Amino acid sequence: MNVTLGNKVVLVGTGAVGSSYAYALMNQGISDELVLVDLNEEKAKGDVMDLDHGIVYAPNSMSIKFGTYEDCKDAALVVICAGAAQKPGETRLDLVSKNVKIFESIVNQIMQSGFNGIFLVATNPVDILAYATWKFSGLPKERVIGSGTVLDSARFRYLLGEEFDTAPTSVHGYIIGEHGDSQLPVWSSANISGTQVAPKLTEERKQEIAVQVRDAAYKIIESKGATYYGIAMGLARITRAILKNENVVLPVGAYLEGENGHSDVYIGVPSVINRTGIKKVVELSLNDQEQEKFTKSVQTLKDIQATIWG
Ligand SMILES: NC(=O)C1=CN([C@@H]2O[C@H](COP(=O)(O)OP(=O)(O)OC[C@H]3O[C@@H](n4cnc5c(N)ncnc54)[C@H](O)[C@@H]3O)[C@@H](O)[C@H]2O)C=CC1
Ligand SMILES: CC(=O)C(=O)O
C-alpha cells in the first residue's frame, strides 16, 4: 500500500461546506490532526480558533491548525471544498470553467508539497472536478474520490424512511449517476430488510421522490443560500471509511473502467472504501430503463469533459 500513513487531514476551502465538515470531523473524533487552508486566510484562521474552543468537549483530543499547501506533504487525506458555489437558479454544471481553473492551481500546489495520500473532492460540479483532480494530480484513480451521490443517496434514504416510517439507516438504496440533474434512483434494488420498496409505491409517487431528491439542493439554496450540513456528514462518513480502513460500501464519485459499460468518467456509484481509497467499484445490476438513464448521465458528464480535455 503506497500511501501516506497516519490520519492527518488537510481541508482546502473553509466556506460553508468546509467548515461544516471540519465541525463534523471534530464531533465524531475521526482524525487526530486537521489543517485548514483557504485563499481567505482570515476566514480559515477564525475557523481554527472557533473549532479549537470546542475540542475540550469533543470525543477525542485533536490538533486543529491553520496551514498552507506545504502541510499536505504528510497528509493521509486532502479534502477539497474550495471554489465557487451555486447561486439561486444556477446548476452545478454552470460552475465548471471557474472551478476547473481554481482546481488546476490548488491541485498543482498540493502535489508540489510531495503529497502522497488520497484526495476527496466535494466542490461542484463534483464529478468533473474529481476527474480534473485525477488528471492534474497524476495519482492512481483509486486515490481520487468524489463525493459523488453520497448526499443524494442520503436524501433518498431519508425520504424513503419517512415514507415507510422506518429509520433511514435501515433503508438501503442508491442514487447513481451525475451529482446533478441527470442522476437516477436505482429502484430495482432499493429495499428495507431485503424487501423491495418499488412495488409498494405508485409510478407517480416514485417520480415525486426522485424529483424531490434531484431538486433538494435548489430548494435549500433558495431558502438559505447554500447546502452544507448534509454534505458535511457525507464527507465525514467517507473520511471515516478511509482512515479506519472500513471496507464499507458507500456511493461516491469513482472512476469507471468498464463497470456498467462505461469508462473514463468519474460518476456516482457504490464503491468499497478503505485505507487505499476506492478498493473496488460495485457493479450494480440495473434494469434496462436504469441502464439507459445511467448511460445518459455518463454522456452528460462526458460532453462536459470533452469541452475541457477534448
Ligand atoms: N458535493 C456535494 O454534494 C456538494 C458540493 N457543494 C459544493 O461545495 C463548494 C463549496 O461550497 P460552499 O462552502 O457553500 O462555498 P463557500 O463560498 O462558502 O466557500 C468556498 C470557499 O472556497 C475558498 N476558495 C475559493 N477559491 C479558492 C482557492 N483558489 N484556493 C483556496 N480556497 C479558495 C473561498 O475563500 C471560500 O472560503 C461549491 O462548489 C458547492 O457547490 C456544496 C454542497 C454539496
Ligand atoms: C449544492 C449541492 O450540490 C447539493 O446540495 O446537492
What are the residue boundaries of the structural domains of the chain, listed by start?
8-146, 150-304
Who lines ligand 1 at CB under 6 A?
A: 12-18, 38-40, 43, 81-86, 95, 102, 105-106, 122-124, 126, 147, 151, 179, 226-228, 231
Tell me whether the CATH fold assigned to 8-146 matches the one assigned to 150-304.
no
Residue 43 among known ligand-binding residues:
yes
Helix (H, G, I), strand (E, B) or coil at 105: helix
- Cβ atoms of 51 and 22 within 8 Å: the answer is yes
Ligand 1 pocket mutation, candidates 11, 12, 17, criterion most atoms within 8 A of CB: 17
* 179 has catalytic annotation: yes
pLDDT of 227 reads 97
pLDDT of 86 reads 85
Domain 8-146: CATH class, spelled out: alpha beta
Give me the architecture of the 150-304 domain, per CATH: Alpha-Beta Complex (3.90)
| Ligand 1 atom with the shortest distance to the CA of 121 | 1
Taking the chain (310 residues) in consecutive chunks of 10 residues, what is each chunk's mean pLDDT? 76 98 97 97 98 97 97 98 90 91 98 98 97 98 98 98 98 98 98 98 98 97 97 98 98 97 98 98 96 98 95
pLDDT of 83 reads 95
Burial class (CB in 10 A: 0-12, 13-18, 19+), 199: exposed
Who lines ligand 2 at CB under 6 A?
A: 86, 92, 124, 151, 217, 227
Q: Read off the C-alpha cell for 84.
A: 465557487
| Ligand 1 atom with the shortest distance to the CA of 228 | 43
DSSP state of 305: H
CA dist 73 and 81 (Å) reads 19
| Strand (E) or helix (H) holding 278 | strand 277-281
C-alpha distances in angstroms, 84 versus 15, 188, 230, 276? 10, 36, 18, 29
Interval between CA 211 and ligand 2 midpoint (Å): 14
CA dist 261 and 247 (Å) reads 24
Closest residue (by CA) to atom 14 of ligand 1? Answer: 16
> Could you tell me if residue 285 is left (phi over 0), alpha (psi between -120 and 50 degrees) or otherwise beta?
beta
| Ligand 1 atom with the shortest distance to the CA of 234 | 3
Cell 481553473 sits at which residue? 101
pLDDT of 310 reads 87
| Strand (E) or helix (H) holding 34 | strand 33-37
Strand 263-274 versus strand 171-172 pairing type = unpaired
pLDDT of 6 reads 86
Q: pTM for the full model? A: 0.98
Amino acid at 115: F
pLDDT of 87 reads 85
* ipTM exceeding the 0.90 mark: yes
> Could you tell me if residue 176 is left (phi over 0), alpha (psi between -120 and 50 degrees) or otherwise beta?
beta
